[in-house]
Amino acid sequence: MAEREVAELPVFTQREITSIMIGLMLALFLANLDQTIVATSLSTMARDLDGWALMPWVVSAYLVTSTTMTPIYGRLSDLYGRRPVLLTAIGLFVGASVLCALAQTMPQLIAARVLQGIGGGGLRSVTQATVADLVPPRERGRYQAYFSTTFGVATALGPVLGGFFADYLSWHWIFWINIPFGILAFALSNERLKKLRRPPRNPVIDWLGAILILASAVPLLIGVGRVEQAGGWATPDVMAPIGIGILAAVALVWREAVAPEPMLPLRLFANQTYCLATILSLINAFVMTSVIVLVPLDYQLVAGLSANAAGARLIPLTVLMAIASFVVGSLVSWLGRPRIFPMIGMTGMMVACFAIAYTGLGHSLVLDLTITGILGASFGFQINPLTVMVQNDLDYRDTGIGLSCITFFRTMGGAFGVAILSTILIRGLTSGVMAIPGHEILGPEPGLALFHLDQQAGVLTPEFLRAAQATIEAAFRRVFVVAGAVSVLAVVATLFLKEVSLRGRETPAVRR
């Protein structure tokens, strides 16, 4: 393993670290908030801008661009330094937020969201790498816990804020709110990060590699995003972009193998700890993102809960995820040995998924809150330790790109998880309802009709409704069986993780 140049890192006081962390957390909060805050105001935007057909792209434009830009920002921060790249990302994000707020048509809003996503990708990736510049690995667990808590709060608060602004102010405030927080994040990051050293040599940018990253990731994300609309994977709308993405990915591997300064260094994947952490992060996101999307739907269809009540039952999951993440981050810093925590987390995730598959949701409030709480805690046990293990094991020159790639694959895992498990759910609903006599009354897509069965309850017999309810429960249980099976792979992978003793440094990282 190459020398990590830790001795050359500057020493920050506790006050400086606190100030920088506030700026980084604000930046990360904004990047994650804008993934979910528009969800509850999409219909209002589409109505005001007369753009119903383009409505899904308000979300997709940000998601696709922020995801694909993540590894590029990480590499640029390795080459040019964290501070200038982070400030550029914040500036782009704030400027694009102004354009979003001023948009007069749906195409204008989508174009501004693309630019906002370009900035948001930098906020998510460079913030993680900057922590590696501030403190040694032994101390990073508790700081990464702050990031995980920020992520959970932003994810949970986004839909609430979006609905509030749309109902009581205007959807434009969804974007205006970014301005003061973005300016504050810029000011804090600009002043305190001046102590970080700049790379000592003139960088050589692998622009072809950057283009190929975009050419591979964008079609893959678009293809996966079309699965539900297309009704499955084996359609031209899905397979064509995925095929283009795979070909571009092959070209990317070839390019990075010969590039003198690759945008995505293949040497990262020769590191066993890095490869396993990447796989585990992807699986974690595969299950976590899918659960956050599908569990409220399960409550609504099986238990007949309203959207608000279903969302409220996710509170134990999100709260325990944040608490577990914070506690585990502190324990990692104290013990200096993180391997046990992802092992516990993956095992808990597997057990919880199989438990939901066996018992179902919506039958017992206590049981529901207990199982989903365990699931949330298991998520919290994984993210911080895996990030710290990677930070500890990477060469300093690869910290930015390494952490950015994990963020990238985590986002891809979430996108694939939602697409795959949603497809399994819809197919289960369709095959189940097709076996019920009289299903023709539901129309040409009886599986999808089960999502709004209450609208036809007056014309359906009690026997049909009971059979349909059993079909819905069986389809959701099948989804959680698959999620549990995927979790088994993660549990096996944790057995190959090597225990590492987290590095400190002889010069104290924090002066009081």
CA distance 11 to 162: 40
Written as one letter, the residue type at 297 is L
Model confidence at 414: pLDDT above 90? no
CA distance 502 to 388: 8
CA distance 257 to 208: 12
CA distance 369 to 366: 5
The dihedral through the CA atoms of 66, 70, 76, 81 has a sign that is positive
Global pTM value:
0.74
For residue 496 the two structure tokens come to: 């190959």
SS3 of 136, please?
A: coil
Model confidence at 510: pLDDT above 70? no
Indicate the pLDDT class of residue 3, thresholds 50, 70 and 90: very low
More confident residue, 75 or 281: 281
Q: Which residues contact 234 (CB under 8 A, 6 or more apart)?
A: none
Over range 151-160, report the average pLDDT. 69
pLDDT in tens, 224-237: 767 666 666 778 87
Over range 179-202, report the average pLDDT. 78
* Residues 114 and 34 sit within 8 Å (Cβ to Cβ): no
* Residues 142 and 333 sit within 8 Å (Cβ to Cβ): yes
19 vs 24, 154, 496, CA distance in Å? 9, 20, 38
Radius of gyration, CA atoms only, the chain: 23
Indicate the pLDDT class of residue 247, thresholds 50, 70 and 90: very high
- Give pairs for 270-273: CB < 8 Å, separation 24+: 271/1, 271/393, 271/394, 272/496, 272/498, 273/389, 273/390, 273/393, 273/497, 273/498, 273/500
Beta bridge partners of 506: none
The dihedral through the CA atoms of 316, 147, 36, 33 has a sign that is positive
Of the ranges 22-31, 386-395, 427-436, which is most confident?
22-31
Cβ-based neighbour number of residue 365 at 10 Å:
10
More confident residue, 202 or 103: 103
Per the prediction, the chain carries an average pLDDT of 78
Query: Residue 440 has what pLDDT?
Result: 66
105 vs 112, 116, 152, 165, 406, CA distance in Å? 11, 16, 32, 19, 36
Angle, helices 399-434 vs 106-134, to 10°: value is: 130
Model confidence at 250: pLDDT above 70? yes
* Residues 281 and 390 sit within 8 Å (Cβ to Cβ): no
Phi, psi of 23 (to 5 degrees): -65, -45
Model confidence at 505: pLDDT above 60? no
Query: Could you tell me the domains of the chain?
Result: 1-195 (1.20.1250.20), 210-262 (no CATH), 266-502 (1.20.1250.20)
Specify burial of residue 35 (Cβ count, 10 A radius: 0-12, 13-18, 19+). buried
Over range 30-48, report the average pLDDT. 73
CA distance 31 to 49: 24
Beta bridge partners of 12: 510
Query: Residue 486 has what pLDDT?
Result: 92
Listed residue (313, 302, 303, 374) closest to 345, CA to CA: 374
SS3 of 114, please?
A: helix
Model confidence at 4: pLDDT above 50? no
* Residues 97 and 116 sit within 8 Å (Cβ to Cβ): yes
Query: Residue 53 has what pLDDT?
Result: 65
DSSP labels, 167-206: HHS-TTHHHHTHHHHHHHHHHHHHHHGGGSPPPSS-----
* Residues 297 and 313 sit within 8 Å (Cβ to Cβ): no
pLDDT in tens, 80-136: 778 888 899 999 999 999 999 998 888 888 889 889 988 888 887 788 778 777 776
Over range 201-205, report the average pLDDT. 66
14 CB-side CA count, 13 A: 2
CA distance 167 to 156: 18
Cβ-based neighbour number of residue 468 at 10 Å:
23
Query: Residue 194 has what pLDDT?
Result: 76
SS (H, E, C) 26-55: HHHHHHHHHHHCCHHHHHHHHHHHCCHHHC
Indicate the pLDDT class of residue 492, thresholds 50, 70 and 90: very high
Indicate the pLDDT class of residue 43, thresholds 50, 70 and 90: low
Indicate the pLDDT class of residue 36, thresholds 50, 70 and 90: low
More confident residue, 377 or 330: 377
Listed residue (14, 32, 316) closest to 142, CA to CA: 14
* Residues 102 and 290 sit within 8 Å (Cβ to Cβ): no
Written as one letter, the residue type at 214 is L
Among 59-73, 178-192, 467-481, 495-509, the least confident range: 495-509
Phi, psi of 235 (to 5 degrees): -130, 155
Of the ranges 28-32, 58-62, 176-180, 230-234, which is most confident?
176-180
Query: Residue 92 has what pLDDT?
Result: 92
CA distance 389 to 227: 34
More confident residue, 360 or 437: 360
More confident residue, 417 or 115: 115
Query: Residue 507 has what pLDDT?
Result: 39
pLDDT in tens, 267-296: 888 888 888 888 998 898 888 878 877 787
Residues of the chain with pLDDT > 90, as a percent, come to: 8
